[in-house]
Structure 1
Amino acid sequence: MVGAVALLPVLAACSTGGQTSPTDDGSDGTKPVNIAFLGYIGGDFPEAVAQGAEDVVSADGGTVTSFDAHFDPQEQISQCQDAITSGRFQAIILVPVDPATGVPCAAAAAAAGIPVATMETAVGTDPYALEPQVDGVVAVAVTPLESQVSVDVELIKEACAGASPCEIIAEISSPTDRWTNDLINGIETALGSDASVVQKVVSQYDPGQIAKALPDALNAHPDAQVFFAVSDQSALAAIPVIAQAGKTEQVKIIGLGGSGQATEAVADGTLFGTTATWPLQTGKLLAEALIESVSGSEITQASVDLLKIDTPVLITGETVGEFKPEWG
């Protein structure tokens, strides 16, 4: 979850075709597709995904309506049921609170003949699988865990250059959140003896929680060289905290998400780096897949690795001039 999370990239260009039908009521012979966007939280990242989807469906008179579950799985299930029974929507983009939450939503949508596209977390037994796993899900846009670990480890190693062992303070959403814990554990395993995560800071993707918790973490680990955030918002929130502690030169800050603010901070040297996401392109691709499904056409791309949509993936002082942020 890009922060959430993430997380997470798509095709550089997507067409805006719609479906045709003898009963179409659009002025150009196409039938509008209205999409329910079911997110686990609001904010400018999901808004960018929704905007990308609307850029596609609006060409034929379709719309995207967003719902915020506030990290509550039961609320998301209820919102999914309401979207299905309302009769207002022909398709759903689902960003699950967790993999289990998505299963009843996808099943109910399948029973109603409404296709579902999921992103960030796959629905089913494997939250990182690129292929649809359950009936009703027609497209998946996720980042395989190994891929995210690999790019983050590359950034951390650069930030840790010259320090051995390198001490890292890392953000997690909560002690029970699977994605952020799997990511941090995977990073620590991949780093081996070269570095260690000395403390995990719980945030619930709330930058205010970083501002409260990070000072104590810095005091407890005065030799820490890196703060790794699972969202750019948290990385940005860490800047004044680390400055107030007098550790701006010592502690390198790494984000995740490729937001506009974080990109600017990388450019001026305030952040060491971040990893890219492309929410507008993600939303466009998922909308294309849903339009194809609604029309009964073969889906052009049902599986999307969010780290393979565009370049550069690693945003550092060397590459920041090549990157165009799509949110934040």
Structure 2
Amino acid sequence: MKTSTRRRALAITAVTALSGIALLSGCAGSPSASSSEGETEVAYLSSSSANTWLSASGKAMQEEAKKAGIKITEFDAKFEPGKSVKQIQDVVASKKYKGIIIATSDGPGAIPALQKAMDAGIKVVILNQVVGEKLDTADPQVPGFSASVLAPPKGTGERLGKLALKACDGLEECKVVYMYGLKGTPFDTAVRDGFDSTITGNSKIKVVADTEGGFLGTAEPRKAVQDVLQSNPNFDVFVAAGDQQVRGAQLALGDAGKPAVKTIGVGASEPALKGISEGTWFGDVAGVPADEGRAALNAMVKAIKENKDSGGIDVVDDLPDGGLITKENVAKFTAQWAG
């Protein structure tokens, strides 16, 4: 069993795209033209290129790729179930890539295709999303994976639950609305399980509604909260699996004249930290997408050039105060993505 590697995540502002690095769009599902002779190519399979978190990870990879002389080609799964599996197959068939860095919402469904990639000699690093059945560990769950770089989603949910307990403190009854990102995915299921396990036993807290807001912008979560308000016009706390949903929820709550609802998200984005500082956003679970990207690329370089594995890397593990952000400690954190 691989030992989990603990890497201290330094809060560093998300990097901007650097010239000279080829992070190419694979939106059509096909790779770019052949690289120059001798160049090492790595495929970055993203759940969604439009997702601002994964974009921040991708930009950070560019910085590390430049140092290592690696060319990255990005493939965009657009959050479409099963699409990353087809992209893995395309990468293997091309016979041009030395490695795959993958952030997939397909979870265990991607394992057979990734196994074939490894059988073909391609190194595999998991990024951000669990690929396996265990949702409480960062450790690689398939023999042969070179590294797994992520915050275990069940732990993220537990942190959300701890912040909800803080938000509900002092209330005789605390009504909570919970928003999934993509309900039914391994990530969201694990986050909710962690959240529920933490608030269970507190009889004052009642989840009066749950809904889904996606991970792309504010329009979907805004509409979802507007719908919730029709049947549950009065609640105290809004909890979401991502900062994007909180931003949309705050727009809906503002429209409804309910700015006093305490909001809690995940990611430590620029809007989250600003809102927490100003008192318009109650709390957040810290996230460091740029650090994730750097750690994933460095693990890939180690795998390709030294044939060494890096094990599990939880970049949130050593953040201040367990990664729980409130107004009292927000100054300790720096945003790595736009939210």
Question: What's the TM-score once normalised by structure 2's chain length?
Answer: 0.82
State how 1:205-224 maps to structure 2 within 5 Å. Answer: 205-206=215-216, 207-224=218-235
Match of 1:6 in 2: none
How far apart in 2 are the matches of 1:197 and 1:32?
53
Match of 2:269 in 1: 259
Deviation string for 1:46-85 (max 9, x for gaps)? 1111122221121132122221111223221111122222
Deviation string for 1:275-294 (max 9, x for gaps)? 11111111111111111111
Match of 1:161 in 2: 169
How far apart in 2 are the matches of 1:183 and 1:135?
25
How far apart in 2 are the matches of 1:176 and 1:60?
38
Match of 1:53 in 2: 61
- Residue 270 (structure 1) shift: 1.7
Deviation string for 1:268-313 (max 9, x for gaps)? 22211111111111111111111111123433x3211242153351
How far apart in 2 are the matches of 1:44 and 1:179?
17
State how 1:112-123 maps to structure 2 within 5 Å. Answer: 112-123=120-131
Contact 2:162 2:199 in 1 (8 A): no
Contact 2:9 2:288 in 1 (8 A): no
Matched, 1:67 2:65: no
Match of 1:4 in 2: none
Contact 1:235 1:253 in 2 (8 A): yes
- Residue 145 (structure 1) shift: 4.0
How far apart in 2 are the matches of 1:72 and 1:205?
13
Match of 1:302 in 2: 311
Deviation string for 1:119-159 (max 9, x for gaps)? 23322232443222224411012323442233212211121
How far apart in 1 are the matches of 2:56 and 2:8?
13
Match of 2:333 in 1: 323
How far apart in 1 are the matches of 2:57 and 2:116?
23
How far apart in 1 are the matches of 2:61 and 2:182?
30
For 2:47, which of 16, 40, 57 is the aligned residue? 40
How far apart in 1 are the matches of 2:233 and 2:272?
25
Matched, 1:87 2:95: yes
Matched, 1:189 2:197: yes
Match of 1:243 in 2: 254
How far apart in 2 are the matches of 1:80 and 1:165?
49
Residue identity in the other structure for 1:12? L
How far apart in 2 are the matches of 1:292 and 1:181?
32
How far apart in 2 are the matches of 1:275 and 1:145?
11
How far apart in 2 are the matches of 1:45 and 1:174?
15
Residue identity in the other structure for 1:307? V
Pair 1:60–1:139, CA change in 2 (3 A): closer
Percent of pairs with identical residues: 26
SS of structure 2 residue aligned to 1:113: coil
Q: Where do 5+ consecutive residues of structure 2 fail to align?
A: 1-6, 12-37
How far apart in 1 are the matches of 2:9 and 2:167?
30
Q: Where do 5+ consecutive residues of structure 1 fail to align?
A: 1-8, 14-30
Match of 2:186 in 1: 178
